[in-house]
Chain A
């Protein structure tokens, strides 16, 4: 069962445009929502994260919007650049069955292509 549902699967945006990636979750116990960026041949890297007690967090061109009542959060990339072309994953920490600590459960990813 997918704990975090991410859409779209792929996204093509013109340079300078806004990229928007959405995630939805069911587990109201989630208390932290990071976004990871992954370039080909690299491991995921933390991009930005938010806690559910705030509705928005902005870092440079990257913004997370959080809607607690709808159990949804989204990543907005303003003024998208070709260098932003990567796969983006939303995630949430959960305690897997049989585990003793928090581990990240990831969405399936969104492949973003920013064209010049």
Chain B
């Protein structure tokens, strides 16, 4: 099975622009979560989707939104980009959404730079 894939690998945007990041989970893994990892910090939870429904949202502004498609792939959208949005955006997949011990498999991330 291929692992979690993300696109694009790198992205450079300017303040005020909009960005869309994409994620394809491992086959059979219906839950997708998005994390933001600022340089030198651990990943911070943004969203979780399961079966196309939002199951959780972290402490991020409404400029951040996401959706999940019937094939379980997902998009993260960020509007009105700020310099502080520069980070590595990680997608994580797991089989279920309820279990605390279900392993989360991370993709390689999208490195977003906002100038």
Q: Which residues of A contact B (CB under 8 A)?
A: 6, 31-32, 34, 36, 41-46, 49, 51, 89, 91, 93, 95-109
Contact = CB atoms under 8 A, between A and B. Distances in A.
21 contacts: A6-B42, A31-B101, A43-B92, A44-B43, A46-B103, A46-B105, A95-B56, A96-B57, A98-B56, A98-B57, A99-B48, A99-B55, A101-B48, A101-B55, A101-B97, A103-B48, A103-B58, A104-B35, A106-B43, A108-B41, A109-B40
Contacts of A95: 56
B68 to A, nearest CB: 14
Contacts of A41: 108
Which 8 A-B residue pairings sit nearest by Cβ, starting from the closest? Answer: A106-B42, A99-B56, A43-B106, A93-B100, A103-B45, A101-B97, A102-B100, A32-B101
Contacts of B92: 43, 104
A46 B92 CA distance: 11
B41 A109 contact: yes
Contacts of B56: 95-96, 98-101, 103
Contacts of B33: 103
Contacts of B105: 46
Contacts of A43: 4, 90, 92, 106-109
Contacts of B50: 101
Contacts of A98: 56-57
Given A103-B48, A103-B56, 16 more contacts: A31-B100, A32-B101, A41-B108, A42-B109, A43-B107, A43-B109, A45-B106, A46-B103, A46-B104, A89-B43, A93-B101, A99-B56, A100-B56, A104-B35, A104-B43, A106-B43
B101 A51 contact: yes
A70 B10 CA distance: 42
